[in-house]
């Protein structure tokens, strides 16, 4: 029981530290292709990412406010800190799925859940990663 409590405490501390890495401002990126976000197809354009809560929920929306999705994320620790703010997409032929957001200077990455459409494609097609550099607004 003590071990379980220690593991839970360590998870809470590491999650809090990771969430502290999300900047106060918005992350902004120009996405040159249509993509799937939260299970729905969305258009190319300028997109922003904002921390919505301390629980790892992100608000990802078009800069003009016409389309937006709240998405729960899983935090994943990487080997080295990200060199820049980036949006990572999985590409299957000509379909793109937002899969990860990296924060400059942080070893934590925000991974978005895989949609049903992506899971189906992944059975038959190997994904490649498309990485877009973003900036802090």
Question: What DSSP element (H or E) covers 20?
Answer: helix 2-20
Mean pLDDT of 24-41: 92
Residue 130 and residue 132: Cα distance in Å, rounded? 7
Model pLDDT, residue 17:
42
Q: Which structural domain range is residue 31 located in?
A: 2-136
Most trustworthy range by pLDDT among 7-21, 67-81, 117-131: 117-131
CA distances from 37 to 3, 14, 20, 45, 88 (A): 38, 27, 24, 13, 12
pLDDT (0 to 100) of residue 21? 58
Q: pTM for this one?
A: 0.82
What mean pLDDT is reported for the chain? Answer: 84
Q: Is residue 71's pLDDT more than 80?
A: yes
The length of the chain is: 137
Question: Residue 45, Cβ neighbours under 10 Å: how many?
Answer: 16
pLDDT at 91: 98
Q: C-alpha distances in angstroms, 30 versus 10, 50, 80, 98, 125?
A: 36, 15, 25, 13, 26
Q: Is the pLDDT of residue 25 over 80?
A: no
Give the residue-averaged pLDDT of 86-91. Answer: 97
Q: How many domains does the chain have?
A: 1
Report the pLDDT value the prediction gives residue 12, as an integer from 0 to 100.
36
Q: Are 50 and 110 in contact (CB under 8 A)?
A: no
Element (H, E) at 133: strand 128-133
């Amino acid at each position: 029981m003590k071990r379980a409590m220690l593991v839970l405490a360590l998870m809470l501390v590491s999650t809090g530290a990771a969430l502290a890495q999300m900047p106060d401002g918005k992350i902004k990126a120009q996405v040159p292709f249509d993509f799937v976000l939260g299970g729905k197809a969305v258009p190319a354009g300028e997109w922003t990412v904002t921390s919505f809560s301390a629980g790892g929920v992100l608000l990802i929306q078009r800069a003009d406010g016409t389309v937006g999705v709240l998405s729960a994320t899983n935090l994943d620790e990487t080997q080295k800190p990200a060199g820049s703010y980036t949006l990572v997409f999985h590409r299957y032929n000509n379909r793109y799925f937002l899969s990860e957001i990296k924060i400059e200077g942080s070893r934590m990455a925000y991974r978005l859940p895989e949609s049903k459409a992506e899971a189906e494609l992944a059975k038959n097609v190997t994904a490649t990663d498309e990485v877009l550099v973003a900036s802090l607004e």
